[in-house]
Amino acid sequence: MDRTKLIWVAACTMLAGCGGEARFAKIGPDGGVLVSADRELRLEIPAGALATKTTIGIEPVEERAPHGLGKAYRITPADIALSAPARLVFDKREENEMAVAVASRGADGSWQAHLGAAFDRFEATLTVETTEFSTWSLIQMLKIEPTDLRVRIGATTDFQVNICLEDDASLFAGANLANVADTCRPWTLSDRVLRWTVDGLPGGREDIGTVAGDGSRATYMAPAAISDWNSVVSVTAWMDIPGRPEGGLGAELTLSPY
């Protein structure tokens, strides 16, 4: 949809929802835009998608997606029939675009990640197209664990890249959808982990600690001494995933003499 032709729907009714404020508007054949009350999600309905004026709603809900980031949003009515795909535009300003995905909840309660989402770095948005309304959320598709911990000088800590999809190969098979797993598991496609760094330095350095990686696993060795108490360093796994900008999964470590 051409942004210059979007029709902002001014006549919205604000109602209290179980997870926050719900927003509703009547949108007809001319199309229109509805924005969630917190402005984190924008629904764009193109001209011709609706045959008649229909009350469209966005409501934050308490239900969380597995590995969900922020709120989940229910878009209504669930039984709507669109003649052309609508666009869901998520504000992902605070999220790691390499590791985040948009997921929707099916009628059976399962969640699916939409792998064909479009990233816009300038606008800091993540966009998917859909002809069906349901409950939607941003999720963390990839994780590095542990994520935040204290490490004694001279000690070692193991790190693991995990994926929160049931089939990690779907990322590379051109699939548009992948089932979201309830529990994240070790990432098996180790060749997609390009390098491990400490504070941006491949392999690290003696004074900030070193990291030795074997694909999706790595071991960090803290320095033998630190100049400042509670020094903080970042260990990052840099990855290559088709269709996504190269990025890293980082963990912050606080170094301590004890």
Q: What is the mean pLDDT of residues 44-65?
A: 93
Six-digit token pair at 115? 């792998």
Give me the pLDDT at residue 118, please.
84
- What's the pLDDT tens digit per position in 205-258? 999 999 999 889 999 999 999 877 668 999 999 988 877 777 889 999 999 887
**Tokens 């001209």 found at:** 47
Band of residue 18 on the pLDDT scale cut at 50, 70, 90: very low
Residue 129, exposed/middle/buried by CB under 10 A (0-12, 13-18, 19+)? middle
Taking phi over 0 as left and psi of -120 to 50 as alpha, with beta for the rest, 205 belongs to: beta
- What's the pLDDT tens digit per position in 99-140? 889 999 998 899 999 988 888 878 888 899 999 899 999 999
Q: How many CB atoms lie within 10 A of CB 256?
A: 15
Give me the pLDDT at residue 172, please.
64
For residues 257 and 122, give the distance between their C-alpha atoms in angstroms, rounded to a whole number. 42
Q: What is the DSSP letter of 175?
A: -
This prediction has a pTM of 0.82
For residues 141 and 163, give the distance between their C-alpha atoms in angstroms, rounded to a whole number. 6
Q: How many CB atoms lie within 10 A of CB 233?
A: 23
Of residues 104, 124, 134, 133, the one with CA closest to residue 116:
104
For residues 139 and 145, give the distance between their C-alpha atoms in angstroms, rounded to a whole number. 16
